[in-house]
Amino acid sequence: MKLTKATTELICELEYIIGSQCYNPNSLNGYTWEEGLEFRYPVSYVNKNGEDTRTRYIIDDINKSKIGSIRYKFGSNHLYIGEAIKQALEYIEDKYDLDFNELTKGKKQSRDRNYDSLL
């Protein structure tokens, strides 16, 4: 898969969806006293200016050459989620004879896909 602006955006959108699926059963909401909270895990990456950045929002300031820098930090461990998503998309392309570069050429904007609640 050749990384283009569209495939880079796709990887960032998928990362946001994955990162939004965190849950801590041992947390406590101080307002409602409910136990267990869902949350967006912070993601780190190298932005367009070459600076190491951390965010809880969708990544929108990254060059395609820095997709490999997108990672989750778990203490001293790092999960390189950007590269993992890229490899997963390449696997899907090979297995199902797809081309994400072709598929993303006519892509709709994310907001057209009912991701308003995620973005």
Q: Tens digit of pLDDT for each residue in 43-67?
A: 999 999 999 999 999 999 999 999 9
Q: How far apart are CA 1 and CA 95, in angstroms?
A: 13
Structure tokens given for 1:
């898969």
Q: How far apart are CA 94 and CA 88, in angstroms?
A: 10
pTM: 0.85
More confident residue, 108 or 76: 76
A 10 A CB-CB count for 35 gives 11
What single-letter DSSP state applies at residue 39?
Answer: E
